[in-house]
Amino acid sequence: MFAALGDETRLSLLARLCDGQRYSIAALTEGTKLTRQAVTKHLRVLERVRIVHATRDGRQSLFTFDPQPVIEMKEYLELVSKQWDVALARLKTFVENDQD
Q: How far apart are CA 46 and CA 22, in angstroms?
A: 15
pLDDT at position 100, please?
60
Distance CA 75, CA 25 (A): 31
Between the CA of residue 68 and those of 6, 21, 52, what are the distances in Å?
18, 16, 10
pLDDT over 70 (residue 22): yes
Contact between residue 41 and residue 35 where contact means Cβ atoms under 8 Å apart: no
pLDDT digits (tens, 9 = 90+) for 35-86: 999 999 999 999 999 999 999 999 999 999 999 999 999 999 999 999 999 9
Q: d(Cα 74, Cα 62) in Å, to the nearest integer?
A: 26
pLDDT at 98: 73
Instruction: Check if the beta carbon of residue 45 is closer than 8 Å to that of residue 10.
Output: yes
* pTM for the predicted model, two decimal places: 0.78
Which residue(s) pair with 24 in the sheet?
62
pLDDT at 91 over 90: yes
